[in-house]
Amino acid sequence: AIRRAWEKHALGVGGEVTARAGTAEIRGMFKGLAADGALVILTPDGTEHTIHAGDVSFAELERLRNPTP
C-alpha cells in the first residue's frame, strides 16, 4: 500500500529515465518500484530491468532543474 501511494505521487513515473552503474547504462520508461524497492525501468524493446543501485536521472526532473528560456 505504501509503495502504491508513493508511486501515485512520484515525479517521473511513466517518464524517461536513465540509470548508470559502472559502464552500464539503461534508458527507458520509469515503470515504478519493485516490491523490494528497486527501480523498475521498461526499455523500448519491452524488457523490464530492476535497478538496485546506480546513478539515476529523470528527464522530467532535469527539465525542471534546467528550464530553457
Closest CA to 17 of 62, 58, 65: 58
**CA 25/CA 16 separation, integer angstroms:** 13
Q: Which residues contact 14 (CB under 8 A, 6 or more apart)?
A: 29, 30, 31
Residues 10-61 pLDDT 10s: 778 888 999 998 899 999 999 988 989 899 999 999 999 999 999 998 877 7
C-alpha separations of 22 from 25, 62, 67 in Å: 8, 21, 29
Question: pTM value?
Answer: 0.78
Which pLDDT score, from 0 to 100, does residue 27 have? 95
> Can you read off the three cell numbers belonging to residue 22?
559502472
Which pLDDT score, from 0 to 100, does residue 12 have? 80
